[in-house]
Structure formats: C-alpha cells, structure tokens
Amino acid sequence: MADIAKRYLITGAKGCIGAWVVKNLVESGNSPVLFDLDDKSSRLSLLLKQDQIGSIGFVQGDISSFEDVDRAVTQHKITHVIHLAGLQVPFCAADPVRGARVNVIGMLNVFESAKRHRDQVRKIVYASSCAVFGPPEHYGKKAISADAPHYPLTHYGAYKDCNEANARVYFLNDGISSVGLRPWAVYGVGRDQGKSSGPSKAIKAAVVGRKFTIPFTGWVDLHYADDVAKIFIRAAENGVDAALLYSPRGSVIQVDEYLKTLSKVLPAAGELIDARGGTQQVAYDIDDPNLVRDLGPLPQTSLEEGIRQTAEIFEILKRENRLDVSDLEA
Ligand SMILES: NC(=O)c1ccc[n+]([C@@H]2O[C@H](COP(=O)([O-])OP(=O)(O)OC[C@H]3O[C@@H](n4cnc5c(N)ncnc54)[C@H](O)[C@@H]3O)[C@@H](O)[C@H]2O)c1
C-alpha cells in the first residue's frame, strides 16, 4: 500500500539491491525518487517496464558531493532515505581513497542532509555489510550475535564499520534515527559485479549454456535480492527512534551445496558450473533474533526457489534478446 506521507530517496537505486527496492516500492504504489551517478537504467529495465521507469523521478548525482545529495533531499521533500550507493570490495581495494569518498563521505553526506532537514527526514536505512566481521575463526563455534566484535579484513569492511559508528553518533548527538542492515551476499537478477556475485553469474551462465567458475569455495550466507529489498523497506517503515543495526540471515550453506541446488533447478549446470578458490574471510554463521522481534516475520525465499525465480527472469530476458552476458567475462 502506498504511503503518501512517505517520500523515499533511494541512493544507488540503479544497482542490484536498489533496483529490487525500487521494483517493490513502485509495485506497492509508491513514487520513490532515485539517486545515482549512473544515468542508464540497465538493472531497473530487467525488473520494470519502460513506462514504469519513465514515470519515476531520477536525480543524477554523486553521493560524495553534499550539494548533490542535499539538492535531492530538498527538492523532493524527502522523508525517508534508503542509502545503497557504494563501491564494492574489489573497487575499494583498487582505490581505497575513492572507496572512502563514496562509501564513508557519501554516507556522512546523507546524514548531514538529514540533519539539515531534521523536521523533514524521519528515517535513514543504510546498507552496512557482514564484511564488518572478520574470518569465522575469530568467533569460535557458536553462531555469532549481531553485536559481535568487528575484525574487518578489507577496506570495504572497515568503511562499513566506520559508517555504523557514525550512525550511532548522529543519533546520540543529533537525534537522527537510522537502521543499518548487514547482508552477507545477495544473489538474483542484477547482481553482476563485486566479489560475491559468482552465484548469480553461475545461474546466468547455466541459462545461456556457458561454462562458469564461482571464484570461491566454503561457507556462504546467500540472501535473495527480493527478500533483501523487502527487509530494507520494512526497516524504513519502523517508527522506533534509535540507531539500530541488524544482520539478516539468508541461506547458510557450502558452495558445493549451492552447486547441487543449482543443478537440481537447472540440470545443465552440473556440466557447466564449478567452484574454485579460497574461502571468503567473513564470518557467515550469524544469528540476529532482534530483527524478527522488531520487524516481524520477514520474507525468506528458499535457495531453490530463489534460483528458480532468477533463472526464469533470465530465460525471459534471453528470449527477448535482452540478456547481457558481459559480466560473465569479468
Ligand atoms: N550485494 C551484496 O551482496 C551486498 C552485501 C552487503 C552489503 N551490500 C551493500 O549494499 C549496497 C548496494 O549493493 P548492490 O549490490 O546493489 O551494489 P551495486 O554495485 O549493484 O550498486 C551500487 C550502486 O551505487 C551507485 N554508485 C556508485 N558510486 C556512486 C556515487 N559516487 N554516487 C552515486 N551513486 C553511486 C552505482 O552506480 C550503483 O548503481 C552497497 O552499499 C553494498 O556495499 C551489498
């Protein structure tokens, strides 16, 4: 149901999670405003019709520019921000200073704009990441709680750690309410870049009949993109005044099991898809009962169903000659 009292700004709206958030908001009758550096709509066009995309407000801007962010918040009388704009692990590793400008300064700009419009902006939901946690061996054998200590091994994880601390300070000093969500690895249509996009690319490769190697092995926690988008929206609807943080849990499995499930849905994958490489250096066995306690029952698409839905969309795009496979080379 549309809530006319809410005016959403989605930063990074042209990215994978952003596209799914926009799809969910538009389909429930909302008119979000999109903010992104990217003026194309490649991922959005995989999920929405052209006339739907054409009717959505778009601000092209750089999240690392306060003026760009504040212009969008001011001009569109934004009340809720879902902040997703960011650079992923490999891009932050390749250029840590640029990574900090986008991932840290960008987040500060969102909060500074909210501070400037404190009577207008009521909630910020931002993407943190399980990359704040270190390798599993830091945490022993038990599932780890959302407030477990952080030992990030990447610049990306360190920026997210810094963002979580800044969100807390903005609440303490300025009363700005926020919810940080820490997905582990998102999969689905539109997930075409970043270290953990391998499982999504593997589905696409199986659909087009190409060989593909997922570049890591071991344990993962995979979240279906549509579920993650719905959790971000649900968090934005939460009226609690606080700086909250949650670690949603998806399907926690070994990559070998993922390959078996993929082959069950797409038998051709058995011959085409494999996995090689080291394990991901991020704790995966996370347990956060507060999320369901505070937000209620959340969507939890099974891995098999998530793969099936993703493959079905890729099949349709293939039939329509709209399936871009350039990410399989990357
Ligand atoms: N995908 C995952 O598995 C995952 C897991 C945990 C956290 N996250 C976080 O969720 C957020 C969204 O992830 P995603 O998978 O949709 O990423 P994505 O790479 O698909 O999309 C990121 C979007 O941000 C935009 N962007 C980049 N630099 C920008 C700038 N300077 N100004 C404005 N826009 C800019 C890009 O154009 C892109 O549309 C990110 O903050 C990411 O760190 C993602």
**What is the per-residue pLDDT across 201-211, written as a single tens digit (0 to 9) for each?**
999 999 999 99
Q: Which residues contact 316 (CB under 8 A, 6 or more apart)?
A: none
Query: In the predicted model, is pLDDT for residue 188 greater than 70?
Result: yes
Q: How many CB atoms lie within 10 A of CB 251?
A: 21
Summarize pLDDT for 51-92 with one digit per residue, the tens. Answer: 999 999 999 999 999 999 999 999 999 999 999 999 999 999
Ligand 1 pocket test: which of 9, 10, 17 has the largest number of ligand atoms within 8 Å of its C-beta?
Answer: 17
Query: In the predicted model, is pLDDT for residue 2 greater than 70?
Result: no
Stretch 212-216: mean pLDDT: 96
The gap from C-alpha 262 to its chain's centroid, in whole angstroms, comes to: 22
Helix ranges (H only) for the chain are 16-27, 44-47, 50-54, 66-75, 89-94, 96-100, 106-116, 155-174, 198-208, 225-237, 255-265, 269-272, 289-295, 303-319
Q: What residue owns the CA closest to ligand 1's atom 28?
A: 86
Ligand 1 pocket test: which of 9, 16, 132 has the largest number of ligand atoms within 8 Å of its C-beta?
Answer: 16
Query: In the predicted model, is pLDDT for residue 143 greater than 90?
Result: no
For residue 126, what is the DSSP state? Answer: E
CA of 267 to the centre of ligand 1 (A): 32
Residues 33, 11: Cα–Cα separation, whole Å: 9
Q: Where does residue 47 rank: exposed (0-12), middle (13-18), buried (19+ CB within 10 A)?
A: buried
Residues 245, 119: Cα–Cα separation, whole Å: 23
Alpha-carbon distances of 269 from 2, 118, 186, 248, 259, rounded to whole Å: 40, 51, 20, 28, 8
3-class DSSP state for residue 243?
Answer: strand
Query: In the predicted model, is pLDDT for residue 26 greater than 70?
Result: yes
Q: Which amino acids bring their CB within 6 angstroms of ligand 1? A: 12, 14-18, 36-38, 62-64, 84-88, 102, 127, 129, 183, 185-186, 193-194, 196
pLDDT of residue 197: 96
Which band of pLDDT confidence, cut at 50, 70 and 90, is reported for residue 194? Answer: confident
Q: What is the DSSP string of 130-145?
A: GGGS--GGGG-SSPEE
Query: In the predicted model, is pLDDT for residue 31 greater than 60?
Result: yes
pLDDT of residue 142: 80
Residues 128, 181: Cα–Cα separation, whole Å: 5
Relative to beta strand 273-275, strand 212-214 is: parallel
Closest CA to 132 of 166, 176, 106: 166
pLDDT of residue 122: 95
Residues 44, 8: Cα–Cα separation, whole Å: 17
Residues 115, 329: Cα–Cα separation, whole Å: 43
CA of 67 to the centre of ligand 1 (A): 20
Which band of pLDDT confidence, cut at 50, 70 and 90, is reported for residue 141? Answer: confident
* Entry pTM: 0.97
Q: What residue owns the CA closest to ligand 1's atom 1?
A: 186
Q: How many CB atoms lie within 10 A of CB 15?
A: 26
Query: In the predicted model, is pLDDT for residue 1 greater than 80?
Result: no
Q: Closest ligand 1 atom, CA of 85?
A: 24
Choices 3.30.420.40, 3.40.50.11290, 3.40.1170.60, 3.40.50.720: CATH for 8-328: 3.40.50.720
pLDDT of residue 4: 54
Q: What is the DSSP string of 25-44?
A: HHHTT---EEEES----TTH
Closest CA to 44 of 59, 22, 63, 62: 22
Stretch 130-135: mean pLDDT: 94
Question: How many CA atoms within 13 Å lie on the side-chain side of 319?
Answer: 5
